[in-house]
């Protein structure tokens, strides 16, 4: 039997001291989608165990999102950062790590759980000694809001509170699990917010989301993040994945990035820099000599074909799990897309 996890505040956990029954209980709570049912964080040990495991996996999704934002040449505006629904605070820390303390100067952490806010603030202070870190229940004007894995826990009051936070923000970076329901919930938020914000990503436009067209009802907007190299050979992570019932090789996520102002949008509703581009949804399916790609463009989300003979390098990248993120090219009457440029992947 594993020893009970004795981790006092600030002490770092190890695989040997991980509290598996505690993680099992948290997992059951997450799966129960505890909207409006009050906090499930009962102690600092809950947060420490979560931070060591589930939150790391969430961090890989944040890494993928932040890399895509860099690929698109976008970064959050200078000014304070707010991690809303912070839990153990992985999202805020990942974003500060990526852009640097000087970009934000201040990190605010907010959660319905006081324990979570205390934990997240403490971890951020440990990690970034030069950063001003504050707990907050209030809505502050301006700055960037990060939201991570919260959407399926919101009741009406939570949605109202979050809307007030977003209404006061300059930019929003929001990451959720890549499930059908979570993606569809994020699409609803996008629709509610796109009149007030430019859509930075994943979309290349700010028109109505094509996933809302009736023929796309079976689909959802999701992507896959890769875990750090070598993880699938790490016995501790493999054990965690098995126990938690999650596949660690590919980590599905959905995301939405909004900003008050980016490159001016044209009359077609395309976000200036990416007019005419499309975003690959999910993973392309490979067949003999061609691939089928769910392709999100301003007009619609639809499946297109890409011929291997036209784009052998793209096929090699897809086989390695690193296909391009953004595509540019024309689709012919039979649904074949001929690419003249791609971005992302290798």
Ligand X SMILES: C[S@@+](CC[C@H](N)C(=O)[O-])C[C@H]1O[C@@H](n2cnc3c(N)ncnc32)[C@H](O)[C@@H]1O
Q: Which of residues 112 and 292 has its CB atom nearest to ligand X in the complex?
A: 112
| Residues found near ligand X in the complex (CB under 6 A) | 30, 39, 55, 58, 85-88, 90-91, 111-113, 116, 148-150, 153-154, 158, 161
CB of 191 to ligand X, least distance (A): 21
CB atoms within 10 A of CB 9: 11
Using the structure block, give the residue that is written with the tokens 């909207």.
35
Candidates 145, 168, 24; CA nearest to 86 is 145
Contact 22, 46 (CB under 8 A): yes
Q: Which of residues 117 and 281 has its CB atom nearest to ligand X in the complex?
A: 117
CB of 111 to ligand X, least distance (A): 4
Q: How far separated are the first and last CA of the chain, in Å rounded?
A: 45
Residue nearest to ligand X (CB): 87
Q: Which of residues 86 and 294 has its CB atom nearest to ligand X in the complex?
A: 86
Tokens linked to 311: 């784009």
Q: Which of residues 91 and 262 has its CB atom nearest to ligand X in the complex?
A: 91
Distance CA(90)–CA(8), nearest Å, equals: 19
DSSP assignment of 117-171:
HHHHHHHHHHH-TTSEEEE--S--SSSEEEEES-GGG--HHHHHHHHHHHHT-SE
CB of 291 to ligand X, least distance (A): 32
Sign of the C-alpha dihedral computed for residues 123, 129, 135 and 136 taken in this order: negative
CB of 50 to ligand X, least distance (A): 7
Q: Which of residues 62 and 220 has its CB atom nearest to ligand X in the complex?
A: 62
CB of 1 to ligand X, least distance (A): 28
Q: Which of residues 113 and 342 has its CB atom nearest to ligand X in the complex?
A: 113
CB of 337 to ligand X, least distance (A): 35
Contact 214, 300 (CB under 8 A): no
Measured in degrees and rounded to the nearest 5, phi and psi for residue 287 equal -125, 180
Q: Please tell me whether the peptide bond between 202 and the residue prior to it is cis, using omega within 30 degrees of 0.
A: yes
Strands, E assignment, 41-117: 81-84, 106-110
CB of 272 to ligand X, least distance (A): 31
Q: Which of residues 162 and 262 has its CB atom nearest to ligand X in the complex?
A: 162
Candidates 294, 279, 297, 314; CA nearest to 65 is 279
Q: Which of residues 98 and 336 has its CB atom nearest to ligand X in the complex?
A: 98
Q: Which of residues 5 and 113 has its CB atom nearest to ligand X in the complex?
A: 113
Helix 44-52 and helix 114-127, axial crossing angle in degrees, nearest 10: 50
CB of 238 to ligand X, least distance (A): 22
Alpha carbon of 342 to those of 5, 215, 282, 324: distances in Å? 48, 26, 16, 6
Contact 340, 334 (CB under 8 A): no
CB of 120 to ligand X, least distance (A): 8
């Amino acid at each position: 039997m594993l020893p009970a996890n004795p981790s006092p505040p600030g002490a770092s956990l190890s695989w040997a001291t991980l509290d598996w029954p505690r993680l099992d209980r948290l997992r059951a709570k997450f799966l129960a989608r505890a909207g409006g049912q009050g906090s499930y964080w009962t102690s600092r040990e809950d947060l420490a165990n979560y931070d060591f495991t589930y939150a790391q996996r969430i961090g890989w999704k944040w890494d993928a999102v932040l890399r895509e934002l860099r690929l698109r040449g976008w970064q959050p505006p200078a000014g304070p950062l707010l991690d809303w629904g912070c839990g153990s605070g992985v999202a805020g820390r990942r974003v500060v790590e990526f852009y640097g303390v000087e970009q934000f100067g201040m990190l605010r952490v907010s959660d319905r759980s006081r324990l979570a806010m205390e934990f997240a603030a403490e971890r951020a202070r440990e990690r970034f000694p030069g950063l001003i870190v504050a707990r907050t229940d209030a809505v502050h004007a301006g700055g960037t809001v990060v939201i991570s894995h919260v959407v399926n826990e919101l009741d009406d009051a939570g949605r109202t509170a979050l809307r007030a936070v977003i209404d006061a923000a300059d930019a929003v970076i929001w990451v959720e699990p890549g499930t059908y329901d979570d993606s569809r919930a994020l699409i609803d938020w996008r629709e509610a917010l796109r009149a007030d914000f430019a859509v930075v990503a994943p979309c290349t436009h700010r028109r109505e989301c094509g996933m809302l067209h009736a023929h796309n009802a079976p689909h959802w907007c999701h992507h896959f993040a890769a875990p750090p190299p070598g993880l699938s050979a790490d016995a501790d992570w493999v054990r965690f994945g098995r126990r938690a019932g999650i596949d660690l090789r590919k980590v599905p996520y959905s995301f939405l990035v909004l900003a008050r102002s980016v490159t001016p949008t044209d009359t077609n509703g395309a976000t200036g820099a990416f007019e005419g581009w499309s975003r690959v949804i999910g993973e392309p399916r490979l067949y003999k000599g061609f691939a089928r790609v769910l392709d999100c463009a301003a007009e619609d989300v639809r499946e297109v074909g890409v011929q291997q003979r036209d784009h052998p390098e793209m096929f090699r990248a897809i086989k390695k799990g690193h296909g391009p993120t953004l595509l540019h090219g024309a689709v012919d009457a039979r649904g074949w897309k001929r690419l003249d440029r791609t971005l992302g992947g290798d």
